[in-house]
Amino acid sequence: MSFDRIARHYRLLETIGFGPDLQRARVFWVDKITRPQRVLILGEGNGRFLCELLRVYPNVTVDCVDASVQMLKLARARVLATRPESFAQVCFLHQDILTWSTQDAYDLLVTHFFLDCFRCDEMKAIIDKLTRAAAPNAAWLLADFTIPARGVLVRAHAKLCVRMMYWLFHSVAGISADELVDPSPYLQANGFARTSCQLSRTGMLKSELWQRNRTPR
């Protein structure tokens, strides 16, 4: 999976489809959490969340893992242009999350519009892996698509949009998933509890804050 082919056009595509709503979902909790020390961001893309994180917490240390070389280049350039004082604190890693491993412990994990790219078995393996990299008090920020609980027309619209996005990103980025899967059961099984959830765009977007609360089973 790689977003190299559409990296330079991704922000335009996002704006056409959703305006500013995806970015609002990404950054909703960033200034409301306990100040992090070491952060792991998966699938950051072009660096817009990363720069907001560095604006709020300029002294934080960040590992930014992405399978797309072009997205990493865009993120690196954005940090240099907007947050140069924090550039040395960010490590940009060109890695596939399915094969990447680390011995570090992070007190903040970030997976915005990332886990929905993977099949159930892959998602479970990724969440298991990230749990092993999480500090005992770690927080987890997760923004993603969801199907609204109510409203026939709203649900039908959301399902159509999600189906079209999976078709597009399967074609141009090679994502393995072909349907939207809720990661909540896997997070809960690994000792994380959802402490807050903000819905937007008639319930189609969610911004969640999870907190590690016990030793995983």
Is-contact 160 167, C-beta < 8 A?
no
pLDDT recorded at residue 213:
83
1 pLDDT above the threshold of 90: no
Residue among 126, 127, 137 at smallest CA distance from 214: 137
pLDDT one-digit tens code per residue, 68-108: 999 999 999 999 999 999 999 999 999 999 999 999 999 99
Q: Which two three-digit tokens encode residue 191?
A: 């000792």
24 pLDDT above the threshold of 50: yes
pLDDT recorded at residue 112:
98
In 10 A of CB 118, how many CB atoms?
A: 21
Is-contact 203 154, C-beta < 8 A?
yes
pLDDT recorded at residue 216:
45
Handedness of CA 25, 30, 34, 39 (dihedral sign): positive
In 10 A of CB 128, how many CB atoms?
A: 13
**Beta sheet of 61-66, edge-to-edge order:** 90-94, 61-66, 38-42, 106-110, 134-145, 205-212, 192-200
pLDDT one-digit tens code per residue, 149-181: 889 999 999 999 999 999 999 898 999 999 999
Please give the average per-residue pLDDT across 112-133, as a whole number. 97
Is-contact 105 134, C-beta < 8 A?
yes
30 pLDDT above the threshold of 70: yes
In 10 A of CB 96, how many CB atoms?
A: 11
Strands 205-212 and 192-200: antiparallel
Q: Which two three-digit tokens encode residue 204?
A: 């189609």
Domain boundaries, the chain: 4-212
Beta strands in 52-191 (DSSP E): 61-66, 90-94, 106-110, 134-145
pLDDT one-digit tens code per residue, 124-155: 999 999 999 999 999 999 999 999 988 999 99
214 pLDDT above the threshold of 60: no
Give, in words, the CATH class of 4-212: alpha beta
215 pLDDT above the threshold of 80: no
Is-contact 190 216, C-beta < 8 A?
yes
pLDDT one-digit tens code per residue, 180-200: 999 999 999 999 999 999 999
d(CA 79, CA 131): 27
Average pLDDT, the chain: 95
pLDDT recorded at residue 217:
44
d(CA 18, CA 184): 24
Please give the average per-residue pLDDT across 14-33, as a whole number. 96
